[in-house]
Amino acid sequence: MASYDHSDVSEREVKDRGEKEEKKDEEKGGFMDKVKDFIQDIGEKIEEAVGFGKPTADVSGIHIPQINLEKAEIVVDVLVTNPNPIPIPLIDINYLIESDGRKLVSGLIPDAGTIHAHGSETVKIPVCLVYDDIKSTYADIQPGSIIPYKVKVDLIVDVPVFGRLTLPLEKTGEIPIPYKPDVDIEKIHFDKFSFEETVATLQLKLENKNDFDLCLNNLDCEVWLCDVSIGGAELTKSTKIDKNGFSFMEIPITFRPKDCGSALWDMIRGRGTGYSIKGNIDADTPFGAMKLPISKEGGETRLKKNKEDGGDDDEDEVCKSCCTDAYLSSSFLN
């Protein structure tokens, strides 16, 4: 009778069993791969059929709707395009404005809205630059200067298939730090003189201390002689003041000398009297329209004989010139 080696049988059974399990694993792995490929193919076909895609964004413009000595209001326009058949939400908008690597202002706008399906929309990001904050942080940024800036925006959107995406954007430009113009009265030409009503023309000197041009469209101011108001004055025609330059302009004014009291007589006697000017100018600039204040205190006026009359400088001649063709010269008291 033949005898069997039990160890050989056991090894053969284990080997056969292992081959069968390995074959099953291969069949299972192949099936799962086929399922994954099938699901991926279906997903791609659905994506192609439905039209899912990543949204795009671009900074389409930067506007400065308001700017004055205190602050600049900036609006960043971002054009967002949604190629998907369903609306996508704007989860958050992070923004930063910096100059030469230094932060000027930053912020977060949560729940910024929804971009409609298969559409493009302009998202407006309002930003406010407060000049006092900037100047107190960076002492080298001086009033009247122009500084470079960079706007950085991160749009965070939630898109089906792709999930949450961040769309980074950048835009560079320049922004001014405005400075109010200096104003002086150079002279006053009397067109008509009487104590009831005097018509005169103020010759003002405006100095532009900014690194950009000012195109004046309107000026309104009030003038005081020795704390007595002699009325208001307005600009009759527009004028341009070059950057870091000055311009002379003539402003008509009407007042009643008898209301000036002793101030007028002090001028006539050559003693001089103080004057003040306060008002505003409306100007166009390369950065948009600006409304800037003008003011002057501590000026001094003296009435002098017009040299064209060839008269003396005594008091009677000065009074006579006041009634004909006189002018007031002005000097600032240091």
pLDDT classification of 325: cutoffs 50, 70, 90: very low
What is the DSSP secondary structure assignment for residue 259, as one 8-state letter? G
Which tokens in the block code for residue 216?
């004046």
Rounded to a whole number, what is the largest CA-CA distance in the chain? 163
Mean pLDDT check: name the lowest of 67-81, 153-167, 181-195, 254-268: 254-268
Tokens of 76: 């960043």
Q: Which two tokens stand for residue 222?
A: 């009030």
pLDDT at 331 over 60: no
97 dihedral zone (left: phi>0; alpha: psi -120 to 50; beta):
beta
pLDDT tens sequence across 220-240: 888 887 777 777 777 777 889
The H or E element containing residue 253 is: strand 246-255
Q: Look up residue 21 and give its two tokens.
A: 């399990």
Question: Is pLDDT above 60 for 170?
Answer: yes
Of 150-159, 199-208, 271-280, 301-310, the one with minimum mean pLDDT is: 301-310
> In the prediction, which pLDDT does 140 show?
87
Could you tell me if 185 and 204 are in contact, meaning their C-beta atoms sit under 8 angstroms apart? yes
pLDDT over threshold 70, residue 275? yes
Given a cut of 90, whether residue 189 has pLDDT beyond it is no
Higher pLDDT: 130 or 200? It is 130
With CA atoms as reference, report the closest residue to 153 among 80, 206, 220.
Answer: 80
Q: Which of 22-36, 50-64, 141-155 has the lowest mean pLDDT?
A: 22-36
Which residue type sits at 81? T
At 321 the pLDDT is 36
Q: Output b/e per residue, 207-244; b: 16+ Cβ within 10 A.
A: ebebebbbebeebebebbbbebebeebebeeebebeee
| SS3 category, 175 | strand
Instruction: Kindly list the distances between the CA atom of residue 296 and the CA atoms of 180, 228, 251, 278, 285, in Å, as whole numbers in the listed order.
Output: 11, 15, 16, 7, 23
53 versus 285: the higher-pLDDT residue is: 285
Residue 16's Cβ-side half-sphere holds a number of Cα atoms within 13 Å equal to 6
Using only the alpha carbons of the chain, give its radius of gyration: 39
Band the pLDDT of 299: cuts 50, 70, 90.
Answer: low
Q: What is the mean pLDDT of the chain?
A: 77
The model's pLDDT over 62-117, given as tens digits with 9 standing for 90+, comes to 999 999 999 999 999 999 999 988 899 999 999 999 999 999 999 999 988 889 98
CA 163: distance to chain centroid? 35
Q: What is the pTM of this model?
A: 0.67
With left for phi above 0 and alpha for psi between -120 and 50, is residue 47 left, alpha or beta?
alpha
pLDDT for position 254? 81
